[in-house]
Structure 1
Amino acid sequence: MIKVIAADMDGTLLNSGHTISEQTYQTIQDVQQGGIRFMIATGRDYPSASDTLKNFPLDCDWVTGSGAEIRNRDGELLQTIPMDPKCFEQIVSCVEKFPAYIRFCTTGKDIVLTEEEDLEQKLLEESRLFFPGNTDEEILESDQFQQLLRRMCRIGSLEELWEMKIPIYKVFINAKTGEIIQEIWKEMEKIPGIAVASSFFNNLELTDEKAQKGHAISRYMEKLGYRKEEVMVLGDSLNDLSMFQAGFGAAVAMGNAHEKILEAAGYITKTNDEDGAAFAMRLALENRLDEIKK
């Protein structure tokens, strides 16, 4: 019997408009009223995740930064797993060989390493993935882009990052093509102590090897007294893969999921634009998950 549901945000709970539908929101409330604990498990940091859902208040637990932070229902920080700064020089040295750029992510702020002043242009290239079909002007004027721009600061060297003396929970690498990212991925896998994941074809997300969604959910649920077989996870992208490999009771892939997620899943629901997360959660509430079993 499912007693906990942990769901990714982008591509899972959120539709192509980057918001949660009324149906999905109501379903979350229904499963909670039915006695199921609900948790967000996202690659976003807590300020970004909570702000995105500000019009849909949720009483839920949070795994953010792909597993680097765990917060309770009150938003109180329970655990953090920052990256070891010793690996940054090797990461930067590798990425500098390619047409790509790096963001160092901490809570509430992203630090972009670039000597150029074209920060807005770099973010625009990245944001085109989130807004397919939109013109550049529409993207630049959107609330989501302006929010992203406000949280950015630029540095020209790693020395400036050291001087800040702040914990870094994730390193985000963005390139123009998937081929470039695959080359960088091969190099990143050689660095000990880090986990490599991806949300899009042309990005990488690096965290401490212990800061992965699956590991974080497992640790937290164990502390709360739940068993793995009582947990259901929902996701769509490669940064959700650790959830699908953790041995939970139900691993549900979205209909729009990456092929590796579809392969690892035990269940497949509808797409995020068809309220697939809501569909699967309601089946779990009604003990009918076998209807979408592979």
Structure 2
Amino acid sequence: MEIKTIREALLWASRFLQDAGTRDPRFEAELMIRHVLQMSRASFMASLPDPISVEAMQEVESLCRRRAKHEPIQYMIGEQNFYGRDFLVAPGVLIPRPETELLVEQIMLFASRIWNQGETLDLVDIGTGSGAISLTLACEQPSWKVSTVDLSPDAIAIARQNAARLAVENRVRFLQGDLVQPLIDLGEHVDILVSNPPYIPSRDVDELDVEVREYEPRLALDGGDDGLDCYRRICAALPDVLKPTALVGFEVGIHQAQDVAELMMQSGVIDEVSIFPDLAGIDRMVIGVRHKPNS
């Protein structure tokens, strides 16, 4: 079949991806064609009757064949939208998920209850990856001083690029290290600690969907035997890194919320814990608050 228009390209790519068994063939086909043609969605829809070049169609076909092998589309086009902003992503970082946006919302909501609007707060994001959490909060809360920590130099490099794209690079500090250790080494304390750490039990990582298992970094997925290793280590260190009034927010895996809430309380410095579900009804966010003792 000779493909002459953008509409014909969309129909061909949709059918190809459907036959390959990808998750959302029509949406993915549109995303790839828009990427090749560098079009917004509005421009794309208006341009469906327009011709598509042979070279562009060859590029679309190449992307479709990669996607048929279950390569994540976000790595193929190099971007993922998070909280209304496009973040660079690459195989060195976990692809930001929509449910993590709910963690960002809960952090801002709880902070608004504890502190005055515009107050300068120190926030650290442990295991920052692409920077989706930390950089979103830097954009949404200009008065906050944001630090990010990641063990992976590749992740830090990508997060730095995203900070520059979002024009917050001068307000975000990037630390390389293992979980909270850089803060402890610096002797620093924070008002807010947020983390979406690896939480998949080791035995389950090899059972994940092929596009996660084969392409996303295992370092960002494997949470140890029961998936709780990072939470144990972070919670054990909370007395050493939190200010007298503080907020802690975690994203957790399925069936982990109660265990993580107990780890928070066992730290001895968290006074109240709340658990919130994601849009699928899975308990996904664990929020802890430390109240300054009455003098």
Structure-1-length-normalised TM-score: 0.33
Instruction: Give the TM-score taking structure 2 as reference length.
Output: 0.33
The structure that is helix-richer by fraction is 2
* Larger-gyration structure (1/2): 2
